[in-house]
Structure 1
Amino acid sequence: MHRGSCLCGAVRFTVEGGLPNPDACHCSKCRKYSGHYFVSADVPRSAVRIEGEDQVRWFQSSEKARRGFCSVCGSSLFWDPLQRDWIGIAMGAFDTPTHTRIAVHVYMADKGDYYDVADGVPRFDTIPPKPH
């Protein structure tokens, strides 16, 4: 089980089971949402339990997704693709070790000019297809 929370602790969550290696998204929306690029693990909704869910506020950032943050401290916590059976959870919000590594960088064509990515992880200008 993996545990996490926002900065103030008003929102806490657990994820049952293992975590997949996360994606790092460099699109302008993720950079504005997180203050840098957004790294999240996509986990089945059924594996996630949220305490303090009444403190989570959702911002509809596109027709396809919304973003969840703590209404008390403003921590960026979730990326929620509508009509999918999974939710992205911000890696920085986990309180316990995740034993993961970034698997892929996406939207590199949109990344900020103030940093470099030189970790040897695959990079794409869009989202690559997921293997079957």
Structure 2
Amino acid sequence: MSTSNIASCSCLCGAVSLGATNLNHQIAACHCNMCRKWGGGALLAVECASEVTFSGEENIEIYQSSEWAERGFCKKCGTHLFYRLKQNHQYYIPAGLFDSSEAFVLEHQIFIDEKPEYYSFANKTKNMTGAELFAQFSPSDQSQ
């Protein structure tokens, strides 16, 4: 596989680098209470499937945020590195980490029902409530 097909990104201090070969250029904004508490605002994330590689893995700390998902961050600088679904190891990487973001488009917003009134994105997007999102999954997966 050519490295030109790998989208690269890194944490603030450079201790952790990531590479993704299968990313979706449509950014999703998650407004759930947990994502907002994790990062101080909506999580703007890029879906990267499970083909993500890491350099500096010894600097990654994993936080088990729910039964079905975990969040990774750099132990040295605290940069949020990923949100990962445990069942299929699907990664969502914060859009701001990528070295190049010209091809990204804010396409949809989830947990729109939990978005506070004090901010709003100007982009026209598809919007889903938490209930609409969870309706796509089996009943056993209905927790954040």
Give the conservation status (yes or no) of the 8 Å contact 1:11–1:53: yes
Q: Deviations along 1:30-86, whole A, 9 cap, x unmatched?
A: 0111111001112221x2110011111111111111110111000111001110242
Q: Secondary structure at the match of 2:58?
A: helix
Give the corresponding residue for 1:6: 11
Q: Which has the higher helix share?
A: 2
| Cα root mean square deviation, aligned | 1.8
State the 1:124 CA deviation. 1.3
Q: Say if 2:120 is the partner of 1:116.
A: yes
Give the corresponding residue for 2:109: 105
Q: Secondary structure at the match of 2:63?
A: strand
Give the TM-score normalised by the residue count of structure 2.
0.81
Question: Structure 1's 60 and 17: CA in aligned 2 closer, same or farther, altered over 3 A?
Answer: closer
Identity %: 31
Number of aligned pairs? 129
Q: Say if 2:97 is the partner of 1:93.
A: yes
Distance in 1 (CA, whole Å) between partners of 2:102 and 2:58 is 26
Unaligned stretches of 5+ residues in structure 1 = none
State the 1:17 CA deviation. 4.4
Give the conservation status (yes or no) of the 8 Å contact 2:25–2:103: no
Q: 2:37 aligns with which of 29, 32, 38?
A: 32
Give the conservation status (yes or no) of the 8 Å contact 1:24–1:104: yes
Distance in 2 (CA, whole Å) between partners of 1:80 and 1:18 is 14
**Letter matched to residue 108 of structure 1:** I
Unaligned stretches of 5+ residues in structure 2 = 1-5, 138-144
Give the TM-score normalised by the residue count of structure 1.
0.88
Question: Structure 1's 20 and 98: CA in aligned 2 closer, same or farther, altered over 3 A?
Answer: same
Q: Say if 2:20 is the partner of 1:15.
A: yes
Question: Structure 1's 10 and 57: CA in aligned 2 closer, same or farther, altered over 3 A?
Answer: same
Give the conservation status (yes or no) of the 8 Å contact 1:19–1:98: no
Larger RCO: 1 or 2 (CA < 8 Å, sep 6+): 1
**Letter matched to residue 9 of structure 1:** G
